[in-house]
Amino acid sequence: MNLITAESLTRAFQSTVAVDGINLSIKEGVCTALLGPNGAGKTTTLNMLTGLIKPTGGSIAFDERYHGDRRQYIGYLPQFPKFYGWMSGQEYLMYTGQLCGLTKKAANERAEELLTLVDLAEAKRKRIGGYSGGMKQRLGIAQALVNNPKLVILDEPVSALDPIGRREVLELMKKLKKTTSILFSTHVLHDAEEVSDDIFIMNRGKVVIEGGLAELQTKYQKPTIYIETEEEPDIWCRALKKKEWFRHMHLDKKQLTITVENINTAREELLADATLHKLKPLRFEVVRTTLEDLFMEVAKK
């Protein structure tokens, strides 16, 4: 079931179209990644979904089970969250809880629950100014959960962290996704692959690829043959393009990477052809393209 459905969603800033007529279906109970290079339009999209900025075109609908202002059902962690360094983690969560309308007592109880969830119970009385990057980000996620949201939206939650902080936050997201729907943005494919179920890849304001992680992996991970030869194999390469199994080729001097449709036929014919053309292969390897290759292709475009 979809929690949020956005249709033809558009946002222009003067002459810049940051988000260009995208359709998004964010499902309930799953973790969705909005992936894309810098400037793709991820933050603008998230800001429209949270209600922070208005679209200049299109529509956003929250599931009809949840009435009224959709902001009450959404928790949000911005890309550059601001904390009061002099407050303790506990004070900060109580403060945000009360801003969300909780009584002091309820805010205190919620703060305790959340501090345990994000593994900050021991540091709850320490000043935030002394927290590590990972601890701050975990506190930011706790803050996003204060109002018991149906969907928590995290803008680049791990991008600015060192490897330890990154691991802490990714592990927290894995834990969180068991109970809360998550939508997060990232420009790191590996993070999306690690925690998300659904992926939308954006580039230049448009969604260029979308689907379930497993579905995308099956669809785009094509068999590939890597060949390194003694001489530059230019002439041979031209002939390969006519083969039925041929899909795509990248030649870098003597290193040839060929994406193919049928690995068995391709392997047999390539080996036979290489002998026929008196080519001297130094390496012949069967590998697979990864989603990383796909993402890099999209990013380059």
Q: Which residues bind ligand ATP (CB under 6 A)?
A: 13, 16, 18, 36, 38-44, 187
**Residue 39 C-beta: closest distance to ligand ATP, Å:** 4
Residue placing its CB nearer to ligand ATP in the complex, 56 or 98: 56
Radius of gyration of the chain (CA): 24
Cβ proximity of 21 and 58 under 8 Å: yes
**Residue 3 C-beta: closest distance to ligand ATP, Å:** 21
DSSP 73: G
**Residue 43 C-beta: closest distance to ligand ATP, Å:** 3
Residue placing its CB nearer to ligand ATP in the complex, 136 or 187: 187
**Residue 230 C-beta: closest distance to ligand ATP, Å:** 44
Category of 82 on φ-ψ map: left (φ > 0), alpha (ψ -120 to 50) or beta: beta
Residue placing its CB nearer to ligand ATP in the complex, 46 or 120: 46
Residue placing its CB nearer to ligand ATP in the complex, 88 or 203: 203
**Residue 187 C-beta: closest distance to ligand ATP, Å:** 5
Q: How many CB atoms are located within 10 Å of the residue 34 CB?
A: 31
Report the alpha-carbon distance of residue 70 to residue 101 in Å, rounded.
16
Report the alpha-carbon distance of residue 9 to residue 21 in Å, rounded.
5
**For residue 106, which phi and psi values (nearest 5 degrees)?**
-65, -40
Residue placing its CB nearer to ligand ATP in the complex, 147 or 186: 186
Report the alpha-carbon distance of residue 45 to residue 78 in Å, rounded.
12
